Amino acid sequence: MHVLVTAGPTREPIDPVRFISNRSSGKMGYAVAAAFAARGHEVVLVSGPVALAAPAGVSRVQVQTADEMLAAVSARLEWCGALVMAAAVADWRPRRAAAAKLKKAAMPVALELEAAPDILRALAERKGGRVFVGFAAETGDPLPEARRKLREKKLDLIVANDVSRAGSGFEADTNKVTLLPAGGAPIDLPLMSKRGVAERIAEWVLDRAAGASAAAAET
């Protein structure tokens, strides 16, 4: 299978030395890419800036901004059979990035923001028979928001996690997630390594893709 995975944060420039970003370490997305590659699938990993080496057998495309991530994913969408969006894409960005460093004495009292592109929403129309997986990182019970995002972003599966829990979310090596399939019962996983979570996601995607091709062969 051809699998497109995104990981890490994006950086939205304020000026040439400053940016808006978030705490994503990329560990979850890199683990997903490694899990598919270890099973012999072809993986392209579109990654924001993180301190991780590309996993063995994975081809990596490095990007900085939400616009660059959208362009890199969009260009490879036809190629892939599954898209796993583990990246923490910026929701907002400065309306204008200054061309030169803003000086301390000239502090702006506020930064004017605008929405960055929502990559999953932008690509939903071109989904076709591809398997789309998203993540919902929330503080508190993630399930209500995860269900909303599953529906609104036309996903097949969303991985819900409460990033305020110990051992979960940003920077941790472990995660405690619930897999929410569209039209299926939630799968509550115990606290486990991010690689363990990644294996479960890969298994789910491969089962779904195999089920879809078996159904197509019958008709």
Q: Pick one of 34, 63, 80, 136: the residue that binds ligand CTP (CB under 6 A).
A: 136
**How many residues bind ligand CTP, per CB under 6 A?**
15
Closest distance to ligand CTP from the beta carbon of 154 (Å): 11
Segment interacting with ligand CTP, rule: CB under 6 A, options 42-50, 101-109, 114-122, 163-171 = 114-122
Q: Is 89 in the site for ligand CTP (CB under 6 A)?
A: yes
Q: Pick one of 11, 27, 149, 176: the residue that binds ligand CTP (CB under 6 A).
A: 149
Q: Which is nearer to ligand CTP, 37 or 158 (CB)?
A: 158
Burial (CB count within 10 angstroms: exposed 0-12, middle 13-18, buried 19+), residue 104:
exposed
Q: Is 22 a catalytic residue?
A: yes
Q: Is 132 in the site for ligand CTP (CB under 6 A)?
A: no
Q: Pick one of 116, 160, 163, 197: the residue that binds ligand CTP (CB under 6 A).
A: 116
Q: How far apart are CA 110 and CA 199, in angstroms?
A: 44
Contact pattern from residue 47 through residue 86 relative to ligand CTP, giving x for each residue in contact according to CB under 6 A and a dash for the rest: -------------------x------------------x-
User: Of 1, 2, 18, 22, which one is the catalytic site residue?
Assistant: 22
Segment interacting with ligand CTP, rule: CB under 6 A, options 13-21, 52-60, 135-143, 187-195 = 135-143
DSSP the chain: -EEEEEESB--EEEETTEEE-----SHHHHHHHHHHHHTT-EEEEEE-S-S-PPPTTEEEEE--SHHHHHHHHHHHTTT-SEEEE--B--SEEESS--SSPPPGGG--SS--EEEPP-HHHHHGGG-TT-EEEEEEEESS--HHHHHHHHHHTT-SEEEEEETTSTT-STT-SEE-EEEEETTS--EEPPSEEHHHHHHHHHHHHHHHHHHHHHHHHH-
Instruction: Write out the catalytic residue numbers.
Output: 22
- Contacts with ligand CTP by CB under 6 A lie at 66, 85, 87, 89, 91, 116, 118-120, 134-137, 149, 153
